[in-house]
Structure 1
Amino acid sequence: MDSARIKKRLKKIVIRLVAGIGILLLLARLLPVNTDIAFAHVVEARDGTVLHAYLSKDRQWRMFTRLDEITPELRKAIVYKEDRHFYHHLGVNPLAVGRAFINNVFHLKRTSGASTITMQVARMLDPKQRSYFNKCLEMFCALQLELKYSKEEILQMYLNLVPYGSNIAGVKAASLLYFNKTPDHLSLAEITALSIIPNRPNSLVIGKDNDKIIQQRNKWLLRFKGDDLFPDGTINDALHEPLNAYRHSAPCAVPQFAIRVKGMYPTNLALRTTLDNKLQLKAEGIVTNYVNQLKLHNINNASVLIIDNKTHEVLAYIGSSDFGDKNNFGQVDGVKALRSPGSTLKPLLYGLCMDKGIITPRTMIADVPINIKGYSPENYDKNFHGNVTAEFALSHSLNIPAVKLLEDEGVSTFANVLGKAGFTSIAKSKNKIGLSLILGGCGVRLDEMTSLYSAFANDGVYFPLQYTLADSQQKRVQKDTTNKGITLLSQPANYMLTHILSELHRPDLPNAYDEAQGIPRIAWKTGTSYGRKDAWSIGYNKRYTIGVWLGNFSAAGVQELSGATTATPLLFQLFNAIDHKAANEWVEPPNSIGFRLVCTETGRIPNDNCTDQVMDYYIPGISSCQQCDHLTQTWISADEHYCYCTYCLPPNGYKTKLLPNIAPELAAYYKSMNIRFTERPPHNPACTHTLQGRGPIITSLTNGMTYIIENKAEQKLQLSCSVANDVKKVYWYINDRFYATADANQKLFFSADAAVLKISCSDDKGRNTNIEVKVKFM
């Protein structure tokens, strides 16, 4: 044969080969292998422990096996048993195909399929009846897989798809459901036992045919030994290892948490969350035991959230103390449920008022009856305390000072800050809420409250909670570059707030003080909602923030329920368990905070008349620098019956005396409680000069309000006011017509006869106040 013919024949072969390869590539592109696998949703703890698993869409227990879960031992055993030349062929083993063809022809039936691991993957991805044509399709699909994926990825697909009987598919599901552990924790004996099941999933059932499985397992272990696949000692141990495996229930821990993160990440099938499994189990045990005791008092539900303050990761999540308690709605997720916060929002308000210079810890606030636009709040114990410091008011959770501060701060301003801190329900309804917001007249969630207090542990900077490690790592990178969080409070205000909340001389310290022994130093605040339906206690130190809610998901109130006596003991138990006797690392005073002496009577900068002084924190350039005026030099007559102003001061016959300058509302409170105090003499009645200063404060009626009168003959409206302590008489006018003269704190009643009423009140110093109300007659 001449060279020309040879070249021509070779050319044809090359052309045909290229054409064949081209056709194959075209078919591979036109008919791609569908590698979409329906996996079950799996929720994992941060250490990889499977917490909760769900069935896949095709009702299989098929859990995604990560590459790092495929140990060298697992890889060796599977490859040796199923396809020893896996790493050396392109999806089809020609020698195995030839051997299978000869055997099948010789025996006149199929005795060997010559299926490689890749071909098995192709068959499991698209199951078909066994035939020579379908076998050819498998080979073609195997070549497609080899061109597109690496060997490790193909092996991963195999381990994710391989059947283990019933509705269990994939090595991870089999490992969990039969051995109660993930694949990377399997022993060699367990790996080998699992490797033989897929060939006979119906006749070798773990838990039922364990003796047969041991025989087959040991046969393969001896083959491993003969080929030096594993050390002899390891194989000998595996040969003697018993098989105590059986079908376990699928993991179903932290159900509310699992439902939540599954909803947050619906496309992520293997969720590695931030949950610390050991800490979670410890917290669950404490909460369950605690609630079992409370059930004697008809308190049936509890929710707890634990946060890592440095990473903002959720470490423990207890939606309810007993998910299976259907009688008490145990399936409700209390971490997400909207509940009344009681007094737990007060710390943020006090911090914001410190940042505006309205208060410092020693600023005095009058805790006396008030009426603000028709709203008359009361304290929890129905008592009033007169003048108190801001730190006393917060640590004793007094309501009147908080309402006053919210009026100064502004409800909308406060609601906007809460919106920035993730309080979604308040942000949506901020135009509908009023001053009752600060006393629990709103809906909040435990996760919102706990993340707010975590901001206090981070110098007043708020960060959203992290639920998965992937998000947490991403946020950590962003924090190092651009994301610095949302500043709610300045460092000085946050430090003053934390200092107040960490004091132990307060009424919400549990009676069982032993529960506080050994716990790290913490700052905490309690809250009890109206009707005793919700008990809160939220605490933080440098490492953790823990939020505790107790109550009934049915919204039934319980007399024994309170934040101080019910929720705080549980908070202390949790801190004791997770951070027992830890180093008392605490917040250091920032350089931007200042210290100064203030008068104990007002909390203001003292003057020469202030003999009692105390040290106080303040924010330079922000905190008020108003000088104390609790005592003022007053001109009075020689008999001390009258006082004078500069307008009516006589040339002689008077004397000067230091007299207390008491606010009208405080003076009215002292008189109503029969508390003795030094009153200023009335102003000189002969003086015709109208004195400067604040006029009477009309406490009833309320300006701008509409009053409904159903029975005009019997229903009357009340008039009352607060005045300065030197005022003795007030004069009431209705629609500019004189109505009556009354003592300063006397209450009057009148019958309304018009739809619009102008109410005027003048004191005996000539100062006047007007309001306007509407009356609707039914």
Structure 2
Amino acid sequence: MKSRFVLLRVVMVLLALLLLLLVGDRLFPLPLQQVEPARVVVAEDGTPLWRFADRNGIWRYPVTVDDVSPYYLQALLTYEDRWFWHHPGVNPLAIFRAAWQDITGREIISGGSTLTMQVARLIDPQPRTFSGKLHQVWRALQLEWHLSKREILTLYLNRAPFGGTIEGIGAASWTWLGKPPSEMTRSEAALMAVLPQAPSRLRPDRWPLRAQAARNKVLQRMIDYQVWSSPHVEEIFAEPVWLAPRQMPELAPLLARRLIAQSPQQKVTSTIDASLQRQLEAMAQGWKNQLPPRTSMAVMVVDHTNMKVRAYIGSVDLNDDSRFGHVDMISSVRSPGSVLKPFVYGLAIDDGLIHAESLLQDVPRRFGDYRPGNFDTGFHGPVSASEALSRSLNLPAVQLLDAYGPKRLTAALRNVGLRLHFPTAVEPNLSLVLGGTGTRMDEIVAAYSAFARHGNAAQLRFLPEQQLEQRALMSPGAAWVIRRVLAGEAQPQPDGQLPAVVPLAWKTGTSYGYRDAWAVGINARYLIGVWVGRPDGTPVAGQYGNASAVPVMNQVSNLLMSSPRLRGSVLPADPRPPSVSVASICWPGGQTLPVGDTNCRQRRQSWIVNQTVPPTLLAPGQESLSGIQQPVWLNAQGKRVAADCRSARGQTVTLWPLPLEPWLPPGERRASRLPPIDTQCPPLRLGNAAPLLLSGVRDGQILRRLPGQPLLTVTASVQGGQGSQRWWFLNGDPLESQQGVMSRVLPFEKPGNYQLTVLDEGGQVASAAFTVR
């Protein structure tokens, strides 16, 4: 009976103790969630790029047990806690041994703390007193209660102090050894295992002899407990300990800031190639001294086979405030200059407006109030589509966009992720193809992937787990043709001579006022984006794409293609799609004509898509003027006659578009191309059927004199018409002399309404009413 009573009391005491433990656990939970996590962004191979410390300035590189070298785990557990996998958090034998050693030695010889107790001290620091020790024991028991051994070990791996602001074996390995903790050698593992005992006193860069002695102590214990064999360890004893001063990860800071803002994870793994990033950042530092003051630079490299972002330089120098180094120019909205032109040409091919050698008109034109010019301020007359794109001529691009539609282009680009930004209440207009809009480098580079991915524009992948997403922007044939044009391979070649691996294709851009200089390149494997300019938008005279951005792009491309990472690998090929073929076409009509046809004034070889050979694209208004196909009736002598004349036979003469006349040799102009007139039976309409066009001033225009200037000078000119004589009238009054001139300089002293009229020999009249203020 008495034994039962004793047993009952024991059970009650145990239950009370258990209840007390439960209550204590509820009242004083483990402070695991109270520690603000430090965060780190790493490259795809795990190399730290940039760290974001916690509020105390501590940074950690999160690791798991599987991420750490087995050598380190062996050294750590053998030296710190051999019975870690077996004790309940507290090792009584170790505590008694440590107490006896401390008493007999009259000094602290060993601590007796288990690894679990060290974790308890790390997560809930307490003073080194008897009560503090009891608190530590309590936390250790809680840890063993709530967590598994691997979880407790993981806490130690990520919280152990390694000196200064470094915590955890992951951060320590990268900082001291420059390698992931999984690659530690035995010697390094032994050093890292003992370093947390006195991080400041054992710093290997300052006190290498102390660090070596501590390491050797660990090595000796590994021999004593037969964890490592003597031959292995004896070799390590002779190795001196010397490590370079610790280095914090400082790569891709602006990308790290971007990714950390989008992800809640403690460790964010990016797609960056750490080696390439380091090389390009060094290259950017080299370019920094060659840039004008306050000018920055941005570079982006993307592997277009999988759309992984391999390098990201958002500014030339993060720490240079004079160059606004903290501003990420890759994600900033800037004027794209001419880098949107390839999309216009590719979509125009798909729309059946042009082929690669279509005749376009690089001539002065006005589109409403918009009058674009070329970068070199000149005009080149008749040009092919491929030449206009490769030379980045503005007027042909505007002509194409006018035919395709700016709203339609904007919608097509937005559908694949390239957003164009316009001022409030401003709709997409023709200026966008010359930089009259805003967009971002990362979206431009992503859209350019369409030329390397068979017409599909894919989204950038900043994280390895991101899925590859793409949408069709243009046909594979159009994308292939545009890429070949940009690579300098516009002229068709037989498949046997055409390289399957496309050389570097690129496009430049310069925004209005020399504010933004662009170069976007596509080589066999990578997309390269380069921007140079001032982040505050201040113009920099003489800064343009070819001079400022192209040299950087070429250097990046050469570095990529000569990189060891590509040695032995097969470069991606871009063979000619089945939809692309070669056609022999004729200017000025733009279509195929048989050999010997007199309307074939220039024969050219062109890439065509889907067997489509569109005629020459005419500008609005040119179609109503009989275009370039002029019907005539000829008699037996080959002279022009009326349609009802005897033996008249119909024929069509293909003429060059009228605005190209000044750039044509005399034998190709309308007066020479049309047969002479038979005076016995002349056609009802004499002349060359060329309309009389007045330029320099337009109907309804309001002209204003410059402040302080007494005169307003207007230069007016005419094209077309019949004969060599022109008569000029201002408000009905003939202008004196020089009736035959094709242009006049007119000074206006007084404000008022004016009408300028020009008359040719055939009676055609061209006029414009305007106002001078």
Q: Quick check: TM above 0.5? A: yes
Matches within 5 A, 1:358-373: 358-373=353-368
CA distance in 2, matches of 1:203, 1:298: 46
SS at match of 2:311: strand
Tell me how far apart the structure 2 counterparts of residues 466 and 711 of structure 1 sit (CA, whole Å). Answer: 55
Structure 1 pair 103–177 and aligned structure 2 pair: CA distance change class (3 A): same
Change (3 A) 1:584 1:38: closer
- Asked if 1:307 corresponds to 2:302, the answer is yes
2: CA distance, partners of 1:231 / 1:402: 75
Distance in 1 separating the partners of 2:423 and 2:145: 54
Counterpart of 2:623 in structure 1 is none
Question: How far did residue 769 of structure 1 move?
Answer: 9.4
Q: Deviations over 1:239-274 (max 9, x none)?
A: 222111364242323334334433444x33323221
Residue matched to 2:656: 662
Measured in 1, the distance between the counterparts of 2:585 and 2:296 equals 46
SS of the residue 2:339 aligns to: coil
Match of 2:474 in 1: 489
How far 1:457 moved relative to its partner? 1.0
Does structure 1 retain, via aligned residues, the 8 Å contact 2:102–2:108? yes
Post-superposition Cα deviations, 1:65-100, rounded to whole Å, max 9, x if no partner, equal 344432211111111222221111332334445666
> Which residue identity is paired with 1:274?
T
Aligned mates of 1:574, 1:19 — CA distance in 2: 72
Q: 1:250–1:285: structure 2 CA closer, same or farther, 3 Å change rule?
A: closer
Counterpart selection for 1:503 from 478, 482, 488: 488
1:60-459 pair list within 5 angstroms: 60-96=58-94, 114-201=112-199, 203-245=201-243, 247-265=245-263, 267-289=264-286, 294=290, 301-323=296-318, 328-329=323-324, 332-424=327-419, 426=421, 431=426, 434-459=429-454
Counterpart of 1:599 in structure 2 is 586
> What residue in structure 1 maps to residue 496 of structure 2?
none
Change (3 A) 1:424 1:135: farther
Paired residues of 2:356 and 2:490 also in contact (CA < 8 A):
no
Q: Are residues 1:618 and 2:616 paired?
A: no
d(CA) in 2 for partners of 1:712 and 1:210? 80
> Normalising by the residue count of structure 1, what TM-score does the alignment of the two structures yield?
0.80
Deviation at 1:549, TM superposition (A): 3.2
Partner of 2:576: 589
Query: Which amino acid counterpart does residue 604 of structure 1 have in structure 2?
Result: Q
Distance 2:422 2:612 in 1: 28
Q: Contact conserved, 1:63 with 1:172, CA < 8 A, in 2? A: yes
1:44 counterpart = 2:46 = no
* 2-structure distance, mates of 1:26, 1:161: 28
Q: Distance in 2 between matches of 1:776 and 1:632?
A: 39
2:362 maps to amino acid = D
- Contact 1:128–1:134, Cα closer than 8 Å, also in 2: yes
Give, in angstroms, the shift of residue 219 of structure 1: 2.3
Which moved further from structure 2: 373-382 or 600-609? 600-609
Query: Letter of the aligned partner of 2:487 in structure 1?
Result: S
After superposition, give the CA deviation of every residue in 1:317-346 in whole Å (9 maximum; x if it has no partner): 233445555555555544345444332221
Q: Which residue of 2 aligns with 1:514?
A: none
Counterpart Cα distance in 1 of 2:199 and 2:130: 24
SS at match of 1:87: coil
Candidates 547, 553, 578, aligned match of 2:560 = 578
Pair 1:383–1:104, CA change in 2 (3 A): closer
1:365: how far off? 0.9
Q: 1:718 to 1:202 in 2, by over 3 A?
A: closer
Amino acid at match of 1:568: V
Aligned-partner Cα distance in 2 for 1:356–1:262: 43
TM-aligned CA distance change 1:762 to 1:639, over 3 Å: farther
- In structure 2, the residue matched to 1:548 is 530
Gap regions ≥5 residues in structure 1: 507-516
Deviates more, 1:532-541 or 1:652-661: 652-661
The 1-side partners of 2:384 and 2:224 are apart by 84
Larger displacement relative to structure 2 (43-52 or 488-497): 43-52
Work out the CA distance in 1 between the residues paired with 2:430 and 2:616: 27
Q: 1:765 to 1:654 in 2, by over 3 A?
A: farther
Paired AA for residue 18 in structure 2: I
Q: Distance in 2 between matches of 1:71 and 1:318?
A: 33
Cα pair distance change 1:627/1:554, threshold 3 Å: closer
Q: Distance between the aligned counterparts of 1:639 and 1:738, measured in 2? A: 43
Q: In structure 2, do the counterparts of structure 1 residues 605 and 728 end up closer, same or farther at CA, with 3 Å as the change threshold?
A: farther
Distance 1:371 1:619, change over 3 A: same
Shift of 1:41: 3.0
Q: Is the 8 A contact 1:38 1:58 kept in 2?
A: no
CA contact (8 A) 1:535 1:549 kept: yes
Question: Paired residue for 1:563?
Answer: 545
Shift of 1:454: 2.4
- Provide the C-alpha distance between the structure 2 equivalents of 1:671 and 1:713, rounded to a whole number of angstroms: 40
- 1:262-303 superposed Cα distances (whole Å, 9 cap, x missing partner): 3444x33323221212223333455555665x45x8896543
1:29 & 1:697 partners in 2: Cα distance?
A: 92
In structure 1, what is the Cα distance between the partners aligned to 2:126 and 2:299?
51
Deviation at 1:198, TM superposition (A): 2.8
Q: Which residue of 2 aligns with 1:634?
A: 632
Cα deviation, 1:617-658, whole Å, max 9, x if unaligned, reads 3343876478998564413799999864xxxx4544978676
Distance 1:683 1:426 in 2: 60
Alignment check: 8 A CA contact 1:664 1:725 kept: no
Aligned AA (2:577): P
Secondary structure of the corresponding residue to residue 35 of structure 1 = helix
- 1:688-767 counterparts in 2 under 5 A? 699=695, 701=697, 707-708=703-704
Of 666-675 and 73-82, deviating more is: 666-675
Distance 1:447 1:132 in 2: 60
Q: Give the drift of 1:571.
A: 2.8
Query: Hey, what's the Cα distance between the residues in 2 that align with 1:157 and 1:486?
Result: 45
The 1:583–1:631 alpha-carbon spacing in structure 2 relative to 1, beyond 3 Å, is: farther
Counterpart code for 2:364? P
Corresponding residue SS for 1:402: helix
After TM superposition, the score normalised by the length of structure 2 is: 0.80
Q: Which of 445, 466, 477 is residue 474 of structure 1 equivalent to?
A: 466
Q: 1:766: how far off?
A: 9.5
CA distance in 2, matches of 1:269, 1:623: 57
- Aligned length, in residue pairs: 743
Instruction: Report SS of the residue matched to 2:197.
Output: coil
Per-residue CA deviation, residues 732-751 of structure 1 (Å, 9 max, x unaligned), is: 999xx978899895568698
Deviation per CA, 1:695-752: give whole Å up to 9, x if none.
Answer: 7666555578665568999666969687666698999999xx9788998955686989
Preserved contact between residue 39 and residue 64 of structure 1 (Cα < 8 Å): no
- In the other structure, the counterpart of 1:678 is 672
Q: Which amino acid in 1 is paired with 2:482?
A: L
Q: Distance in 1 between matches of 2:379 and 2:466?
A: 51
CA contact under 8 A between 2:589 and 2:654: conserved in structure 1? no
Q: Using the alignment, how far apart are the partners of 1:164 and 1:242 within structure 2?
A: 20
What 5-or-longer segments of structure 2 have no aligned partner?
492-498, 619-626
CA RMSD of aligned residues (A): 4.8
Q: Distance in 1 between matches of 2:72 and 2:333?
A: 48
* Offset, 1:116: 2.1
